[in-house]
Structure 1
Amino acid sequence: MTIRIAMVAGEASGDLLASHLIRAIRQHLPDAQFFGIGGPKMQAEGFDVRWPCELLAVHGYVDALKRYRELSGIRRSLLAQIRKERPAAFIGVDAPDFNLWLEGKTKEAGIPAIHFVSPSIWAWRGGRIKRIARSVSRMLCLFPFESELYERAGVPVSYVGHPLADVFPLCPDRAAARALLGLGHDRRVVAMLPGSRQSEVRNLADTYIATACRMLERDPALVFLVPLATRETRAIFEEALHRKQATELPIRMLFGHAVEAMTAADAVLVASGTASLEAALLKRPMVITYRIGDWQYRLMKRMAYLPWVGLPNILCNESLVPELLQDEATPDRLAAALEDWLGDADRCAALEFRFTELHLALRQDTAQKAAEAILPYLGGGAA
Structure 2
Amino acid sequence: MRIFISTGEVSGDLQGSLLITAMQRQAAAAGWKLEIVALGGEKMSKAGATILGNTSGIGSMGLLESLPYIVPTLLVQRKAIAYLKQNPPDLVVLIDYMGPNLGIGTYMQNNLPDVSVVYYIAPQEWVWSMSLQNTSRIVAFTDKLLAIFPEEGRYYRENGGNVSWVGHPLIDRMQDAPNRQAARTTLGIAPEQIAIALLPASRQQELKYLLPIIFQAAQTIQAKLPQAHFWIPLSLDSFREPIAAAIQSYGLQATIVSGQQKEVFAAADFAITKSGTVNLELALLNVPQVVVYRLNALTVWIARKLLKGSIPFASPVNLVVMKEIVPELLQEKATAENITQAAMELLLNPERRQQTLTDYAQMRQCLGEVGVCDRAAQEILQMLNKV
- TM-score in same-fold range (> 0.5): yes
Q: TM-score, normalised by structure 1?
A: 0.86
Query: Equivalences for 1:1-383 in 2 at 5 Å?
Result: 3-11=1-9, 12-27=13-28, 29-38=30-39, 39=41, 42-43=44-45, 47=49, 49=50, 51-54=52-55, 57-59=58-60, 60-67=65-72, 69-82=74-87, 85=88, 87-108=89-110, 109-125=113-129, 127=132, 128-169=134-175, 173-243=179-249, 246-247=250-251, 249-301=252-304, 302-303=306-307, 305-362=310-367, 363-380=369-386
Amino acid of the residue matched to residue 117 of structure 1? I
Unaligned residue ranges in structure 2 (runs of 5+): none
Amino acid of the residue matched to residue 170 of structure 2? L
Q: Displacement of 1:355 after TM fit?
A: 1.7
**Matched residue SS, 2:150:** coil
Q: Is the 8 A contact 2:201 2:211 kept in 1?
A: no
Amino acid of the residue matched to residue 82 of structure 2? S
**Matched residue SS, 1:67:** helix
Q: Cα 1:357–1:169, aligned 2, differ >3 Å: closer, same or farther?
A: farther
Q: Cα 1:146–1:24, aligned 2, differ >3 Å: closer, same or farther?
A: farther
Residues 296-341 of structure 1: per-residue CA shift (max 9 Å, x gap): 2333444363321011111121111111122211111111101111
Stretch of structure 1 that moved more, 155-164 or 226-235: 226-235
Q: Displacement of 1:25 after TM fit?
A: 4.4
> Over alpha carbons, which structure has the higher Rg?
1
| % same residue | 25
Q: Cα 1:355–1:170, aligned 2, differ >3 Å: closer, same or farther?
A: farther
Stretch of structure 1 that moved more, 346-355 or 179-188: 346-355
Stretch of structure 1 that moved more, 311-320 or 300-309: 300-309
Q: How many residues align?
A: 372
Residues 236-280 of structure 1: per-residue CA shift (max 9 Å, x gap): 12333444xx33x42333334333222222211111111111111
Residues 12-41 of structure 1: per-residue CA shift (max 9 Å, x gap): 225413422432540564224334324555
Q: Displacement of 1:146 after TM fit?
A: 0.9
Q: Displacement of 1:91 after TM fit?
A: 1.9
Q: RMSD across aligned C-alpha pairs, in angstroms?
A: 2.7
Q: Cα 1:20–1:206, aligned 2, differ >3 Å: closer, same or farther?
A: same
**Matched residue SS, 1:122:** helix
Q: Displacement of 1:140 after TM fit?
A: 0.8
How far apart, in 1, do the equivalents of 2:7 and 2:25 lie? Answer: 16
How far apart, in 1, do the equivalents of 2:46 and 2:228 lie? Answer: 42
Stretch of structure 1 that moved more, 341-350 or 132-141: 341-350
Amino acid of the residue matched to residue 153 of structure 1? N
Residues 102-150 of structure 1: per-residue CA shift (max 9 Å, x gap): 2233344222211111111122235321111111111111112211101
